[in-house]
């Protein structure tokens, strides 16, 4: 490793702290230009953050949100990865269901929300279903199928 590269690596934490300080300084300036109601100063935000970190109900709500998110990701992956494998391996399955996947992928989440609201209501199941659809299911299908097709094309080029 050259001396200049080692020097750049050793200066990296210092540069990161400098950038952080500049960003906090800009935040303070913005908070005093605008009202504190719109942009509170950083020390107020840190104070409220510590107050919330010690509040049991907030921590419980955070744990429930993380649990629902993990459930949504697991459900989306459990459904999406096998479907992506089917799309990648079977040409007939791909030709049949790829238009459906492309249609669902083109739906903006903001447009899907009222549909999920009508189907599932405001329950936790509705929120999890929306997260499954929007965050993990389509991504799992598309990434698995795309990766599999790329691997198959690489295998054909090697032969």
User: pLDDT digits over 101-116, tens only?
Assistant: 888 888 887 888 888 8
Start-end of H helices in 34-159: 42-53, 56-89, 91-106, 109-120, 124-131, 138-158
Give the Cα separation of 87 and 96 in Å (integer): 9
Q: Are residues 63 and 33 in the same domain?
A: no
Q: Would you state the pLDDT for residue 158?
A: 55
pLDDT band at 67 (very low <50, low <70, confident <90, very high): very high
pLDDT of residue 70: 92
Global pTM reads 0.65
In this predicted model, which residue has the larger pLDDT, 12 or 77? Answer: 77
Shared domain check, 81 and 11: no
Domain total in the chain: 2
Paired tokens of 58: 């907030």
Residues 40 and 63 in one domain: no
Q: Using only C-alpha atoms, what is the Rg of the chain?
A: 24
Q: Which is more confident, 6 or 142?
A: 142
Q: How many CB atoms lie within 10 A of CB 57?
A: 8
Please tell me what DSSP assigns to residue 136. Answer: I
Same-domain check for residues 104 and 141: yes
Distance CA 80, CA 74 (A): 10
Average pLDDT in the chain:
83
């Amino acid at each position: 490793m050259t001396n200049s590269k080692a020097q750049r690596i050793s200066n990296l934490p210092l540069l990161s702290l400098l950038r952080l300080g500049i960003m906090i300084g800009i935040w303070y300036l913005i908070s005093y230009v605008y009202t504190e109601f719109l942009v509170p100063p950083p020390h107020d935000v840190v104070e409220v953050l510590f107050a919330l970190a010690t509040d049991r109900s907030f921590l419980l709500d955070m744990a429930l949100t993380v649990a629902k998110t993990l459930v949504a990701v697991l459900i989306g992956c459990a459904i999406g990865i096998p479907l992506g494998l089917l799309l990648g391996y079977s040409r007939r399955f791909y030709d049949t269901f790829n238009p459906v996947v492309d249609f669902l992928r083109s739906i903006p989440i903001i447009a899907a929300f009222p549909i999920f609201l009508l189907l599932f209501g405001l329950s936790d199941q509705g929120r999890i279903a929306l997260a499954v659809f929007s965050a993990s299911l389509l991504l799992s299908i598309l990434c698995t199928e795309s990766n599999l097709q790329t691997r198959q094309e690489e295998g054909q080029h090697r032969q």
